[in-house]
Amino acid sequence: MPVKTSKAYLTVLGVPEKPQISGFSSPVMEGDLMQLTCKTSGSKPAADIRWFKNDKEIKDVKYLKEEDANRKTFTVSSTLDFRVDRSDDGVAVICRVDHESLNATPQVAMQVLEIHYTPSVKIIPSTPFPQEGQPLILTCESKGKPLPEPVLWTKDGGELPDPDRMVVSGRELNILFLNKTDNGTYRCEATNTIGQSSAEYVLIVHDPNALAGQTGPDHALIGGIVAVVVFVTLCSIFLLGRYLARHKGTYLTNEAKGAEDAPDADTAIINAEGSQVNAEEKKEYFI
Q: Decide if 69 contacts 41 (C-beta within 8 A).
A: no
SS3 (DSSP) at 82: strand
SS3 (DSSP) at 45: coil
As a whole number, mean pLDDT of residues 58-78 equals 92
Q: What is the pTM of this model?
A: 0.62
Residue 230 scores a pLDDT above 90: no
Pick the CATH number of 118-203 from 3.30.420.10, 3.10.20.600, 2.60.40.10, 3.40.50.740: 2.60.40.10
As a whole number, mean pLDDT of residues 170-185 equals 94
62-67 and 33-43 strand pairing: unpaired
Residue 277 scores a pLDDT above 50: no
The more confident residue out of 286 and 50 is 50
Q: Which string of DSSP letters, residue by residue, matches 174-187?
A: EESS--GGG-EEEE
Band the pLDDT of 234: cuts 50, 70, 90. Answer: confident
Q: Decide if 48 contacts 42 (C-beta within 8 A).
A: no
Q: Decide if 199 contacts 119 (C-beta within 8 A).
A: no
The more confident residue out of 243 and 117 is 117
> How far, in Å, CA of 44 to CA of 37, rounded?
20
> How far, in Å, CA of 49 to CA of 17, rounded?
12
What is the average pLDDT score of the chain? 85
Question: For the chain, where do the domains classified as CATH 2.60.40.10 start and end?
Answer: 20-113, 118-203
**What is the structure's pLDDT at 225?**
87
Pick the CATH number of 20-113 from 1.20.1290.10, 3.40.50.300, 2.60.40.10, 3.90.79.10: 2.60.40.10
**What is the structure's pLDDT at 27?**
87
Q: Decide if 103 contacts 15 (C-beta within 8 A).
A: no
Residue 179 scores a pLDDT above 70: yes
> How far, in Å, CA of 29 to CA of 115, rounded?
6
Give the max Cα distance, the chain.
142
As a whole number, mean pLDDT of residues 240-266 equals 60
